[in-house]
Amino acid sequence: MDAGIIILISIAYVAFLFLIAYLAEKREKAGRSLVNNSVIYSLSLAVYCTAWTYYGSVGRAATSGLGFLPTYIGPAIVAPLWWVLLKKVIVISKSQRITSIADFISSRYGKSTWLGVIATLIAVFGIIPYISIQLKAISTSFDLLATKQGALYLHAEIPFYLDSALYIAIALAVFTILFGTRNLDPNERHEGLVAAIAFESILKLMAFLMVGFFVTFWIYDGFGSIFRKAMSNPELSRLFSLEETNINGWEWFWLSFLSMSAVLLLPRQFHVSVVENTNPNHVGKASWLFPLYLLLINIFVLPIAIAGLDQFPAGAVEPDSFVLSLPLAHNKEILALFVGLGGFSAATSMVIVAVIALSIMIGNNLVLPLLLRTQAFHEEQYINLNVRLLGIRRISIIVVLLLAYGYFKAVGEQYTLVSVGLISFTAITQFVPAVLGGIYWKRATKKGALWGLLAGFGIWAYTLPLPTMVETGVLPIQFIDHGPFGIELLKPHQLFGLTGASHITQAAFWSLTANTVIYFFVSLFTSQSPLEVSQADLFVDIYKYRKGSTDYDVMRRQAMVKDIRILLNRFLGEPRGNLLLNAYENSQRIDLAQQKVAGADLVNYAETHLAGAIGAASAKIIIGSITKEEPISLEEMFKVLEQTKEIIQYSKALERKSAELERTTKQLKEANERLKELDRLKADFITTVTHELRTPITSIKALSKIIKETPNLPEEQKQEFLTIVVSESERLTRLINQVLDLEKIQSGPENRTLAPIDFAAVTERAYSGLRQLMRDRNIRHELMIEHQPLKVKGNNDRLTQVVVNLISNAIKFSKEGNGAITVHLCQDGQMAVLKVQDNGKGIQPKDQKLIFEKFTQLSDEDRGKPKGSGLGLFITHSIVAQHGGNIHVESQPEMGATFIVEIPIWTEKSQ
């Protein structure tokens, strides 16, 4: 067929597309949108099917049987989830005026400029190989149609100005510019484009079904005949076995996972499914119509592949072009032309939408933010920015297509369509953690997304596109075979020693694993800025915000109404700007002409609408240039800090008070306990004393009565009785004296005169006075005085009482019948130390303090009734204390007790 006719038909076809677009836009303006329709929406999603599907699937099926299917099975698996997942993304994007996948990611993570730049670069570099295969498909089919034989020459070997692929690239750039950049739509919606894409989807499906029918039912007698034919040939029958075509579960899973991600996240898919969406509910119908479309376009792939392998001698025709070669071989030129047109439509729809999506990204998320960052804001820069923005996009379109041509010429020709396409899929899959986490995990941070994407993209670049550079001679072949610098672990196709997986699978595995792990952990170890927190909340809980009427605003921003008007007019054009402001006035019922300063509400309104035209990150910067952000003034901050400080101090004071109170309460409790104990002791004491008093009185009374009533009582008997009466009276006196003594001692030391006396003499005297008693009781006794004289300052009578009390005590408590008492006096430093030791029962440790208390009498079952008044030791303790000394006891049960008294030595100096 004449090349001229083919070119003419192609041009006529494109003109027809323009007509469709023109009609669609005309109807949109008239308010009867053609595109606002779930069937058109579903068809526009079929931009997913490119030359890869149209030509490449058959090529893939010819070598690996069902291996072409995961690319379409993935979308079929994930489609039921669209109603949940895609709808949420659409609702978020509409409320945020999101214009591309890069914008979506940047916006979610605090409208980060850098994240937008990285995402754009990943998308651009990821998609270039994909665009290059469309160029290859168009030029190959052109060659085939024109000459009836493929691969007349290698594109890499002829100069570029003779290369048809270059002219195809240039023509596509022109189409794309005409389609996508005629005007700047604030919502980035192109109804004309969508209508044209939907038409192309119908055309390519019809063309492919037609060639499928031709092959299956014209050349052969239906599916049964083709499959039987294949089965009879062992070379062909292996295509039906997954094992024999080297497809295992691991490969299958990853390939379908890649396509699941790509069907939503490829820039062109995101553009048609999200940005061009007119109603989120269209997703419902699309979630089954689109898989149905995929099913139909795939059903003839395997039969065509088998037919191609059956009809042509091995290696004669490239399997990627079986679709076209089969009708040509049967001299069906009109059919072949139609099929070629179908392929042309598949390729052009992909190129046009993908390149428009990329140009929006490059303009909004790459060039504009960098421009705004590097140059100070001058008002004149905004003049005609509308035109400038379109200029940026047009240049990006040309650059992207030339890069794609460059890739095709350098490497693309060596690989099949599918293997190059999968490189792009793997790049796009890197967006999965950031997007999925972005809409379901609030804790995800900008740094997490940034580092995750960088890691995933880095591994992708290293393992997939870099090795293809070997073809161009930039890198030596050793790079693939032995790794860089001979490091085998870093071999790009067997990274970290992972063998047994295909290049794509191992690259997808490593890059996505690194990406996800880094995204997750960096997010957990970093914190979010206030804007990130509010964006995260808005993305994750979008339905909550949609129900509520008030838009949230994190910063209270103000700007002049005049400035906002200027900005909107410059960026969106005057009619559109005025329309927006009027709409705002109407909805809020205010008159902006009356106001000078616009509140946060209007600023946010302007920002979201600007974001539609220039992307979230750029809109934020531009609005930032006219607004006075007053998040919190310094003064307010200080006030808050001051208040916080006061509260902290107050609470500290409270804490102190409460601790004090606790202490006081504890002391009071203790005092109360002591008082109670004393009270109890007093009551006990009174009982004891009364008892003690009654005993002598009873005996005195009885004996006196006997003497009185028995006149003839023998004299000696009378004498004996009188002696008892006297001794009992003395005992009474002693007891009463002791009680009185106690009173005296307690009344204070001031009425007592202290003078230097010899403690040794006092001790000796008191000891001698009691020696007889000890002898009577058969107690061994000993007195040891080491230093004599031993001057202390004290009162003679009182100190005597101390010694007598202690020795009497020892007599009372020493062992019955075999007692032993030692009295020992010595000087220890500045103290005179008196020790009185007995060998009695001893004193329990718990009682050793208690015995010096007033009215304490130790009693237990062994000892029976107490032998004293309970005052002796207390009196002793009081006297010693008045002399500036101290007294304590050392004892262990059954080992006797030693009372130790220490009284300061008197010296000339102390006087």
Partner 1 sequence: MTNDKVFKLLGLFFVALLLFNFPILSLFSEGRPMGGATVIFTYIFLTWGAIILFTALIVESNQNNKPR
Binding site for partner 1 (CB under 8 A): 66, 69, 73, 76-81, 83-84, 87, 222-224, 227-228, 231, 237-238, 240-243, 248-249, 252-253, 256, 281, 284-285, 287-288, 291-292, 295, 299, 302
What's the token pair of residue 663?
Answer: 């202490």
CB 368, CB 618: distance < 8 Å: yes
d(CA 885, CA 897): 20
| Closer residue to partner 1, CB minimum distance, 131 or 305 | 305
| Closer residue to partner 1, CB minimum distance, 289 or 352 | 289
CB of 95 to partner 1, least distance (A): 16
| Closer residue to partner 1, CB minimum distance, 302 or 810 | 302
| Closer residue to partner 1, CB minimum distance, 240 or 382 | 240
CB 520, CB 451: distance < 8 Å: no
**Residue entry with tokens 């099975």:** 73
CB of 41 to partner 1, least distance (A): 14
| Bridge partners (DSSP) listed for residue 836 | 823, 899
| Closer residue to partner 1, CB minimum distance, 237 or 381 | 237
| Closer residue to partner 1, CB minimum distance, 283 or 453 | 283
d(CA 577, CA 849): 96
| Closer residue to partner 1, CB minimum distance, 62 or 317 | 62
Counting runs of H as helices and runs of E as strands, what totals does the chain give?
Answer: 37, 10
**What are the helix (H) ranges across 526-599?**
530-540, 542-547, 561-572, 574-588
CB of 539 to partner 1, least distance (A): 17
d(CA 643, CA 647): 6
In one letter, which amino acid is 173? A
| Closer residue to partner 1, CB minimum distance, 18 or 227 | 227
Residues in the chain: 911
d(CA 740, CA 757): 25
CB of 280 to partner 1, least distance (A): 10
CB 201, CB 17: distance < 8 Å: no
d(CA 69, CA 61): 9
CB of 69 to partner 1, least distance (A): 7
CB of 499 to partner 1, least distance (A): 19
CB of 192 to partner 1, least distance (A): 27
CA distances from 191 to 47, 223, 357, 593, 671 (A): 15, 40, 14, 35, 92
d(CA 241, CA 227): 13
d(CA 300, CA 306): 10
Residue 838 makes CB contacts below 8 A (sequence gap 6+) with 809, 810, 811, 813, 814, 815, 819, 820, 821, 896, 897, 898
Residue 414 makes CB contacts below 8 A (sequence gap 6+) with 468, 471
The C-alpha angle with vertex 299 and arms to 213 and 291, in degrees rounded to 5, equals 130
CB of 285 to partner 1, least distance (A): 7
CB of 298 to partner 1, least distance (A): 8
Q: In what order do the strands lie in the sheet with 597-598?
A: 597-598, 557-560, 628-629
In one letter, which amino acid is 875? I
**Residue entry with tokens 């099926």:** 61
d(CA 48, CA 419): 16
CB of 543 to partner 1, least distance (A): 8
CB of 158 to partner 1, least distance (A): 42
| Closer residue to partner 1, CB minimum distance, 87 or 108 | 87
| Closer residue to partner 1, CB minimum distance, 280 or 573 | 280
Q: In sequence order, what E strands does 751-797 have?
A: 755-758, 780-785, 791-794
CB of 217 to partner 1, least distance (A): 12
| Closer residue to partner 1, CB minimum distance, 281 or 381 | 281
Rounded to a whole number of angstroms, the CA Rg of the chain reads 54
Residue 157 makes CB contacts below 8 A (sequence gap 6+) with none
User: Is residue 507 packed enough to be buried (19+ CB in 10 Å), middle (13-18) or exposed (0-12)?
Assistant: buried
β pairing state of 557-560 and 628-629: antiparallel
CB of 70 to partner 1, least distance (A): 8
| Bridge partners (DSSP) listed for residue 386 | none
Residue 767 makes CB contacts below 8 A (sequence gap 6+) with 783, 803, 807, 823
| Closer residue to partner 1, CB minimum distance, 250 or 382 | 250
| Closer residue to partner 1, CB minimum distance, 244 or 636 | 244
CB of 237 to partner 1, least distance (A): 5
Q: Which helix (H) or strand (E) holds 79?
A: helix 70-82
User: Is residue 744 packed enough to be buried (19+ CB in 10 Å), middle (13-18) or exposed (0-12)?
Assistant: middle
Residue closest to 533 by CA, chosen among 549, 504, 553, 514: 553
| Closer residue to partner 1, CB minimum distance, 78 or 611 | 78
| Closer residue to partner 1, CB minimum distance, 293 or 855 | 293
**Residue entry with tokens 């979008």:** 542
CB of 249 to partner 1, least distance (A): 3
CB 122, CB 430: distance < 8 Å: yes
| Closer residue to partner 1, CB minimum distance, 205 or 823 | 205
What's the token pair of residue 787?
Answer: 């230093």
SS3 (DSSP) at 862? coil
| Closer residue to partner 1, CB minimum distance, 24 or 79 | 79
CB of 484 to partner 1, least distance (A): 34
**What are the helix (H) ranges across 411-445?**
417-429, 431-440
| Closer residue to partner 1, CB minimum distance, 225 or 898 | 225
- Phi and psi at 821, nearest 5°, equal -130, 135
CB of 229 to partner 1, least distance (A): 11
CB of 224 to partner 1, least distance (A): 4
| Bridge partners (DSSP) listed for residue 904 | 831
